[in-house]
């Protein structure tokens, strides 16, 4: 009410005060916008670095699993070969025992 009453009375002080308050708000918003832009840039940079690290990790993980699979395949081939060799030896021994009876 004081604001309206003062305006009616022809006082420029209220208008000047309002303009000053609006300028302060504008300046504060400008600073806020600058801080938000810096935050956005910083966040984008961090996400970019994180994305790069995750891509490298993915490549390394895929390579690691390929290497592991190759080693397991080699182990399986070796173990399978040894298994077949043992089976043949057992069969030969069984045949010798059966002939000896």
pLDDT tens digits, 50-92: 999 999 999 999 999 999 999 999 988 888 888 888 888 999 9
**Which among 73, 41, 90 is positioned nearest to 33, based on CA atoms?**
41
* Domains contained in the chain, number: 1
pTM score of the predicted model: 0.50
Cα distance from N-terminal residue to C-terminal residue, the chain: 123
CB 6 within 8 A of CB 13: yes
Report yes or no: 15 and 26 within 8 Å, Cβ to Cβ. Answer: no
Supply the range of the domain harboring residue 47. Answer: 2-100
CB 6 within 8 A of CB 14: yes
């Amino acid at each position: 009410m004081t604001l309206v009453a003062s305006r009616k009375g022809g006082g420029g002080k209220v208008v000047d005060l309002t303009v000053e308050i609006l300028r302060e708000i504008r300046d504060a918003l400008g600073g806020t916008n600058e801080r938000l832009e810096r935050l956005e840039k910083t966040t984008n940079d961090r996400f970019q670095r994180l994305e790069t690290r995750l891509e490298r990790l993915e490549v390394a993980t895929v390579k690691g699993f390929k290497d592991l699979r190759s080693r397991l395949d080699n182990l399986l081939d070796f173990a399978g070969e040894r298994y077949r060799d043992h089976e043949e030896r057992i069969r030969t021994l069984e045949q010798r025992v059966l002939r000896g009876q």
